[in-house]
Structure 1
Amino acid sequence: MYYNSGLLEIRKYRVQSLITILLFIAPFAMLMLAFPADAFGWFLLAASYFLLLTCKEIRNSTALFWVSVIVLTLHHIISFMNAYIGTTLGADTDAMGFHVAAQIQSSVTGSFELKVGSGFYIQMLAYLYKVFGPSQFTGQMTSAIGYVLSSIVFIKLMTRIGVKRHQGKLLFLFGALPTVFFLTTVILRESWEILSFLLIIYTALGLRHKKSLRQFSVLFMSVFVLALLHNGMMAFAPVIILLSFLWIYSKKEGENSTAGKKIIAVLISCMAIGVWFYINNSGISSTASSAVASGSVVDYANAYRDGSAHDSRASYGISNSDSSLFGLIKTFPLMLVYYMFAPLPWQIGNVADIYAALESMLRFFLLYFAYKTWKKSAGEEKRMMKYLLLTFIALECLWSLGTINWGTAMRHHLVGYGLLLLVAGPAMFDRINSLLRPRLK
Structure 2
Amino acid sequence: MLRVGIIGAGGISDAHIQAYLAFPEECEIVAIADIVPGRAASKLELHETLGAKAYEDPLQMLAQEQLDLVSITTPPSSHASLTVAFLRGGVNVIVEKPMAPSLEECDAMIAAQRESGKVLSVVAQNRFRDDMAILKEAVDSGLIGSVSHLRIDSAWWRGLAYYDLWWRGTWESEGGGCTLNHAIHHIDLTLWLMGRPSQVTAMLANAQHDNAEVEDLSVAVLRYGRGLAQLTSSVVHHGEEQEIVIQGEFARISQPWQVAAELPRPNGFPVAGGNTALVNELNALAEAHAPLPHRGHAGQIGDVIAAIRDQREPAIDGDDGRNAVELVTAIYKAGIEGEIVDLPLAPEDPYYRSGTLAQRAPHFYEKRASVTEQSGEIIVGASTSASND
Question: Which TM-score band (shorter chain)?
Answer: under 0.3
Relative to the length of structure 2, the TM-score reads: 0.25
TM-score, normalised with respect to structure 1: 0.23
Bigger radius of gyration among the two:
1
Structure in which a larger fraction of residues adopt strand:
2
Instruction: Identify the structure with bigger relative contact order (alpha carbons < 8 Å, sequence gap 6+).
Output: 2
Structure (1/2) with the larger helix percentage: 1
